[in-house]
Copies of this chain bind each other. A is one copy, B any other.
Amino acid sequence: MARRYDHSREELYEMILNEAHRQVMDGGLRSLSARKIAKEIGYSVGTIYNLFSNFDDLILHLNGRTLDLLFENLSVPPETLDPEDQLRELSMTYIKFTRTNQNLWNCLFDNRLLIRDGLPEWYNKKIDKLLELIEKAIAPLFSSLNSLERHQSAWVLWCSFHGICSLANFQSDNEEATTYAATLTDQLITNYIAGLKVYQPQ
């Protein structure tokens, strides 16, 4: 059989990533397989390699969708809130997301993706969008001249959130891991923001 045109290229792309999403959610990256995807969507393996240059590329695109999902979850907190409370709101949603989509989120940081040299532009843009949420939240703490320091602090917080959630995944008790991650994030925000207030003039 050939050129069935049952589905457009875009539809196929969606079907493949939907199925990949499902498999990763179910059993982590380990249970993701090109053959299984093909079987499930009713096409052959070759079709997958027609759309994605290789398996890592498929994972990268799946991760792109995960970043989108995360962004959709992290709605912009109201500007009426303290920077501190905005951060708390963001971080709590973040933790919740990483816990309910554990396998999917882990996939973002799989080692196989950092072998190549650098991530593509479109991917980094998705990360930047997330970072901007944090940057906006802490903006009131910085004078408009200190955009570099604001940016760096956003990165510090982003990395730290990541670190806390990442290591939480190694805990066996799921309930406990979630609450401990929340506690640590809370400590981080409290102290880091207090520190910022000490050093930032305004």
* Residues on A facing B (Cβ under 8 Å): 28-30, 106-107, 109-115, 117-119, 149, 152-153, 155-156, 158-164, 166-167, 169-173, 183-184, 187-188, 190-196, 198-199
Q: Are B196 and A191 in contact (CB under 8 A)?
A: yes
Q: Give how many copies assemble into the complex.
A: 2
Q: Are B164 and A111 in contact (CB under 8 A)?
A: no
Tell me the smallest distance from the CB of A162 to a CB of chain B, in Å: 4
Q: How far is the CA of A170 from the CA of B119 in the complex (A)?
A: 7
Tell me the smallest distance from the CB of A201 to a CB of chain B, in Å: 14
Q: Are A184 and B170 in contact (CB under 8 A)?
A: no
Find the residue from A106, A112, A149, A187 having the highest chain B CB count within 10 A.
Answer: A187
Can you name 25 A-B residue pairings with CB atoms under 8 Å? A29-B111, A30-B111, A30-B115, A109-B166, A110-B110, A114-B170, A118-B173, A149-B187, A152-B187, A158-B167, A159-B163, A159-B164, A159-B166, A159-B184, A160-B160, A160-B188, A163-B163, A166-B166, A191-B194, A191-B195, A191-B199, A192-B195, A194-B195, A195-B198, A198-B198
